[in-house]
Every structure is written in C-alpha cells, then in structure tokens.
Structure 1
C-alpha cells in the first residue's frame, strides 16, 4: 500500500470537538483509509487553544506526534515546531499543555483508533507490556534559501533505528535531488512528510505536511525533490507488540 493525504482534505474536515471533561480543540483529518484493525493509516491535526490542557492518557496503537505550530509541554518535555514524539501503545503520557500561542500537532498511526483512554480513570484498562516514549530536540525546517543553495543530499537520524524498527529520519534534498527512502522492513509502515519544499510522487507535487504512507510490504520509495528542494521526515512505526495485539 502506498497512499497519500493532503492539506486540502484536512481543511475540508476541520471541526471543533469537546471532550466530556470540557477540553475543546480542533481536529482535521489529513489522511484517512478506513478502520481495518491490521492496517489503516491515519494522520490528523490537533489544534489546542492557548494555555489549554489535554489530560494524561494512553492509546491502544503505536503513534508518532509531530509538533508543527506553537509551543508547550508533553509531560515534562518542552515542545515547539518542529518536535517529533513517539509513544508506544499502552504507554501513558502527558498532560499536553499549550503555551500562549496555542499548540498544533499531527498524530500519526498505521492503524486507526478512535479517541484516547484518559488517566487516572482508565488505569484499569492498562495492559502489561513494553512501555516507551521517544522525544526529539526541536528543530526549525530548512529555509527556502538554504534548500535552493543545497548541492548534496543529507541523511540525519532523529531516532536511530530501534530494535522494534521504530525510526525517525530527516532527509535534506537539493533542487530536483533524489534519494531512496529508508527501508520499511519489519515495521508497520512508514510516513514520508515534507516539512519544507516539496516532493514529486505519482505525477503530483506533494507539499508541506502532505503525507505519503508506505506499508512494510512495499520497497523503499524513491524520492524526487521539487524545484525548490525538500526537507523531509520519514517516520517508521513499530508492529503492535504481541502483549497488546491480543488486547485490541
């Protein structure tokens, strides 16, 4: 499976939601592919208002979160654009606290999931198994001028490949530059997301924040930068741990 999402779809699905505890936020679906329990890649944007707090919680699926605007905290970790966060299934994290300008971040999964299990009332639903989080240092996207002047490609490991095949890689491509994306082998799939510049894929230009999902059974994707170069994140997700697969 190779499937793409778009800002256009995100804008068309943006709506305001409210949790039972009164927490309000905007949600936009950038990539939807159904609800298959084995493979249903999903990427959506959450927009928290200034000084708002989403309580600590956990999810049933592995996920990345990509902070793209504003600043705040994920638990004790300060975040701002751009920060990469990984949370394994059944791993509690948070609260997510927005700063004075609000906080916007994508949630990125290879399997669809609805909602979250809030803590502490959801503690009884926690399942024993591996717990893990990964946090990057914030970094700015490459400027248009820097990409235009780039002569060579650069490969930066944000999260070096983990034993369960989780990885986050940054690729910097010059104008019209090419590179083969990291392997998907052993994972539950990989997202390829331009954070600056653009890529050409399947006859169309994929621009900032538009995701390409590549499942693990596909070969590594050849990447072609647009005329302005590209700053690209490759986010590779783990397969669900066996302790959790039976519980979902």
Structure 2
C-alpha cells in the first residue's frame, strides 16, 4: 500500500495484524519512507519497536542504519524520522495491534498525565565478532531487551537469553533462515510468545543477520479501549 500525504510519503507493507473488532494481537509492518521525507513527531498507545531494514536516516538526533533498533513506551512522543537520500525502510512491531498515529502537538490533549514514558536506542557494534550474538539492549528486570546474531549457512540459531513473557519478534535483516517448515527470507519476521516453545532457526544463507527484540512483560497486558485502537489522524490517500 502506497501513501502520499502530509504526514507520510512512501509505502507500508503489512505483514500481519489483527482486524478491527478482534482482540488485538501482534502486528508487524515494513514502512518504506521516501528519500528525503520527514515523518513528524507522534506517539502510539502501545509498546513499540522499530528495526531498520535498509537505507539511512535519523530519528531525532539518533543516526539510523540497518540493524538499528528503537523502543518506545506508550504515549512517548518520538521523531521526527527523516529518511536519507536512499530512503529508509524499517519494521514497526507491536505485540498488540494499533492503527494510525497520534501526531503532536495536535494530539497532546489525548496523553495521560503522569504516565511513565521512555525510549531506548541501539545500533550494531561494528567491532563485534563477525559471527555470533551481540547485545543491543541489555536485558532488564522487566524483560525489555534486544539482540543481533550473524550466522552462516547450516548454523542453528536460538536466542540464548531468558524470555520476558512480553513477546518477541525475530526479524530477518539480511540473508535467509528457516523455522521448521517455514522459510524466513530477508524482510520477514516471526512473532513468538510463551507458552509456545521458543523457536530454533536454521541459517540458510551465508552472512545472514537476525535481530531479536523482546518486549517488557507488561506489553501484552496493555489494554486500550476499542475506540482508541485507531488513531484519529488521517492514514493518507491510497494511490495504488
């Protein structure tokens, strides 16, 4: 789906989400932001991770590159997100589906006074070993964390850290993996949450890169009234 409007210019590929009227479940999409375009400051009502797939840009004062991760808690305003000359593609991941965005300052009156807000940023460490796991966000007591793994064809990949109960996304930035009979090529992702058995992936291509983001345990409990699950801001004009 391609959009060309005042707040967002580019495309959005919806990988999976729950439909209106259904109990909210996991949501994953890839935003493909047009070169040079700036997405204004806004917030969401759900916990969210964004993981950069390709391209370059900035989020506020933070430089974005493939493998960069950004976590934001509910109602924490972030941005602007500016795409570089080659554009900026990034995953947007939530354990509970939410539609649209609450743009600031217009939606400031919708914010809950006194609510705790936070954001976390991390990027791949260029000095890290060429193979194996690296920590992007240290595992916190509430379960929030993020890791990356570079692996070679035939290697088995299983996240070594304890889960939070809040849900995880396994995001393929480069290369290809498989999980059972499911192929996970570049630009795909897998959602997992207990009590299901944690996934064990097999690397199918050399120099593959996987990013795993783990939500705090309270993320799956963050109920939002049905009337607020779709932000009142325009989603943009569909042009193809």
- TM-score normalised to structure 1 length: 0.78
Return closer, same or farther for 1:195/1:139 CA change in 2, 3 Å cut-off: farther
Q: Give aligned pairs, total.
A: 223
Tell me the distance in 2 between the aligned counterparts of 1:233 and 1:242: 20
Return closer, same or farther for 1:53/1:229 CA change in 2, 3 Å cut-off: closer
Q: Which residue of 1 aligns with 2:75?
A: 90
**Aligned partner of residue 228 in structure 1, secondary structure:** coil
Give 1:81 shift: 2.2
Tell me the distance in 2 between the aligned counterparts of 1:28 and 1:186: 28
2:2 paired with 1:16: yes
Q: Which residue of 2 aligns with 1:4?
A: none
| Uncovered stretches (5+) of structure 1, i.e. residues with no partner | 1-14
Give 1:113 shift: 0.4
2:115 paired with 1:137: no
Q: Which residue of 2 aligns with 1:236?
A: 214
Give 1:225 shift: 1.7
| Uncovered stretches (5+) of structure 2, i.e. residues with no partner | 229-240
Give 1:17 shift: 2.0
Q: Which residue of 1 aligns with 2:236?
A: none
Return closer, same or farther for 1:107/1:221 CA change in 2, 3 Å cut-off: same
**Aligned partner of residue 101 in structure 1, secondary structure:** strand
2:32 paired with 1:54: no
Equivalent residue in structure 2 for 1:69, among 49, 54, 60: 54
Q: Which residue of 1 aligns with 2:169?
A: 191
Return closer, same or farther for 1:197/1:49 CA change in 2, 3 Å cut-off: closer
Q: Which residue of 2 aligns with 1:171?
A: 149
Give the 5 Å matches for 1:6-45.
15-19=1-5, 21=6, 23-34=8-19, 39-45=24-30
Return closer, same or farther for 1:99/1:228 CA change in 2, 3 Å cut-off: closer
Tell me the distance in 1 between the aligned counterparts of 2:175 and 2:188: 11
Q: Which residue of 2 aligns with 1:116?
A: 101
